Every structure is written in structure tokens, then in C-alpha cells.
Amino acid sequence: MTPPLRIAALSAWHVHAEEYARAAQDHPETELVAVWDDDAERGADLAATLGVEFAPDLDALLARPDLDGVTITTATTDHSAVIGAAIAAGKHVFTEKLLAPTVAEAQQLLDAAREQDVAVVVSLPRLSHAYTVALRQVLDSGRLGRITYSRVRLAHDGSVADWLPARFYDPAGAIGGAFSDLGAHPVYLTQLILGDALAVTGATYTDMTGRGVEDNAVVTVVDSDGAIGVIETGFVSPASPFSIEVHGTEASVSFGLDGEDALVVRTRDGLERVTLPAEDPTPFEAWVQDIRTGSRSTDNQQRAVDLTALVVAANALAARTTTPEENA
């Protein structure tokens, strides 16, 4: 019997740290063996919660010959250094988005991973959900005609209900606020719908709870054919349903509108509720498969680079057009 892959969780900084560490515990082909964090108290607390060793020395942990891979949930600003060290040590990497603070750093990490033959997968989980699999089938069918408009919204109440940790409002560590974090999901879904060659035409960020970064954001994009995409996110909405809508010259498709957890195609003749297919493998499952088979999720990696590019462009545009005083 093939022994399980031995995985370490690197940092409890991100709110998904425990989730990804537990994925390593729950997957039948992986075993969580340690937690590292540059904040020893924070790391030791997560290690105790998970019932594994806390490893205070990152270099020593990465040097262990019995360690196969790592999950990365550090501050985004630390991704390049920590992911780079893991790759240099020959460890496979599963990481929270964004892959890196800049496109150049993201590409450097992927180039290094190829040189080391290391599997790198970025957590873009909504691409594998059943509604996205079905949405992709509708788009590929051409039923909508020429795409004219899309809108994707994902928001929660992390700021107004005060459940996000204070470090999420550090613009250095988080590389921004709501758009760089939660907004990443509607970004990569919009890129799935309209393609990756999108021009950012507007970026409106506001800081409604006064924490110093945006907690409410809308970004508009345009594709080469003139279709408009609207990307909405925020930490200030307690009852905002996740929703997708795509409009074309022949029909429209939506998910999550009108309180329905269904994918609906609307035409001139009426509407059709689409039967959702099975979900694709989760990003973590795809990562394990890549390690086992030697395959590489190049589509995931390219989407991670494209995601970084759009987020960086939106943040730069928002910084040029909005001042903190305007948000007060």
C-alpha cells in the first residue's frame, strides 16, 4: 500500500488555515504532520487544535526528507518568500490565493516549480463547484449568442459582524482589503466567463467601517469584444446571496438570483432550470492527484497568474482614483 503524503501547514495567518490543514487530515492519501508559523503562539494554538506538532523552525521543517508538501496560508505579502523556500526544498505547494503580490513574483514561483518538478495548485474552489461546471457547459454550447454583460457578486459580513481577524485589515500583509481577498472569487469566475484578456475600466473602493482598507468594492472590466463585466464584493453585507448572471444576444443564464440555488437559462420563449452535474475535483484533490501522477494543473496556474494581474490592476486604479479622505 502506498504510504500517505506527509503535509505541513505553513501559518495560521489566513482564516482558511485550519480548513486546508483539515483537508490534509481528511484526504485518504495525505497526512498532516506539523504546523509552522512565524507567530509561535498562533501556530502552536493551531497545532494543538489539529493534534499535530508545532515546528518553530521553517528551514528545519522544509529540510525534512519525510515531508512531501505544504499548505500555504501565510499573509499574502509573505507568499513569495515562503512558497519560494518550499519550492527550493522540493516540496509540493497548495496555496491560498493570491499566489503572490505581483504578476512577476507569481511567474517566478511557477518557473521555479517547473524547474524543481514541484506541483503547485492555488485554491480557486468555485471553479470546481457544480454550478460552475454547468455554467461552463452553457457558455461552451453557444446558446447565449454573443456575450454582452456579466455580473458576479460575493460578499459577507466579516467587517460589520467583526469576525474577520484584525490582520485582514493590514494593507501590507493582505495586499489590500476585500477585493484582494474575497473579491478574488468573482474575479476568476468573471475571467472564466469573459476570458483573461480583460481591461479594468473602473474600481470603486470604500471603507465603510473605518479600518483603513476597502470593505466594499465594485470593479468593472471590458473584454476585447466589448462585453462588460461587473465584479462585486465586500465585508459589509450580512444577507447578500452569491450570484452570477451572464447575458448574451440570444439568451441569459444566472445562478443565485431571486433566492434560487439553481442555474437558470432564460430565452425569449421562457426559462429552463439546468440540472447540475457532478462537481469537479476540489483544488486540494487536484493537487494530490498532481503529486501522485506527476501531472501538473497548468490551467489552474495560469488562472492564478491572470487573477493576480486583474487584482493588481484594480488595486492600482482604485489607489489613483480614491483617497482615504473620500472614504471617510
Largest CA distance in the chain: 65
Chosen domain end from 89, 118, 147: 118
Could you list the residue range(s) of the whole structural domain that residue 269 is in?
A: 126-281+311-327
| CATH code of the domain covering residue 40 | 3.40.50.720
Instruction: Please report which confidence band the pLDDT of residue 325 belongs to, taking 50, 70 and 90 as the band edges.
Output: very low
For residue 211, the SS3 value is coil
Q: What is the mean pLDDT of residues 70-98?
A: 97
315 and 178 both lie in a single domain: yes
100 and 138 both lie in a single domain: no
Q: What is the mean pLDDT of residues 179-189?
A: 97
Burial code (b: 16+ CB inside 10 Å, e: under 16) for 275-287 equals: ebeeeeebbbbbb
DSSP 128: S
140 and 199 both lie in a single domain: yes
- CB neighbours of residue 66 within 10 Å: 7
Chosen domain end from 90, 118, 146: 118
The answer on pLDDT for 104 being more than 90 is yes
Cell match 469584444: residue? Answer: 225
The answer on pLDDT for 162 being more than 60 is yes
Distance CA 222, CA 220 (A): 7
Q: What is the mean pLDDT of residues 296-300?
A: 95
Cell match 468555485: residue? Answer: 126
Distance CA 27, CA 309 (A): 32
Mean pLDDT of the chain: 95
The reply to whether 304 falls in a domain is no
108 and 137 both lie in a single domain: no
The reply to whether 246 falls in a domain is yes
* pLDDT at residue 105, rounded to an integer: 97
The reply to whether 286 falls in a domain is no
- Write the pLDDT tens digit of every residue in 192-225: 999 999 999 999 999 999 999 999 999 999 999 9
All three cell numbers of 162? 467583526
The answer on pLDDT for 170 being more than 90 is no
* Category of 226 on φ-ψ map: left (φ > 0), alpha (ψ -120 to 50) or beta: left
Cell match 462537481: residue? Answer: 279
Instruction: Please report which confidence band the pLDDT of residue 326 belongs to, taking 50, 70 and 90 as the band edges.
Output: very low
The reply to whether 233 falls in a domain is yes
* pLDDT at residue 322, rounded to an integer: 60
Chosen domain end from 118, 146, 169: 118
Q: Which helix (H) or strand (E) holds 284?
A: helix 283-293
* pLDDT at residue 328, rounded to an integer: 42
Contact between 122 and 188 (Cβ < 8 Å): no
* pLDDT at residue 324, rounded to an integer: 46
- Write the pLDDT tens digit of every residue in 248-284: 999 999 999 876 789 999 999 999 999 999 999 999 9
* pLDDT at residue 86, rounded to an integer: 98
* Category of 2 on φ-ψ map: left (φ > 0), alpha (ψ -120 to 50) or beta: beta
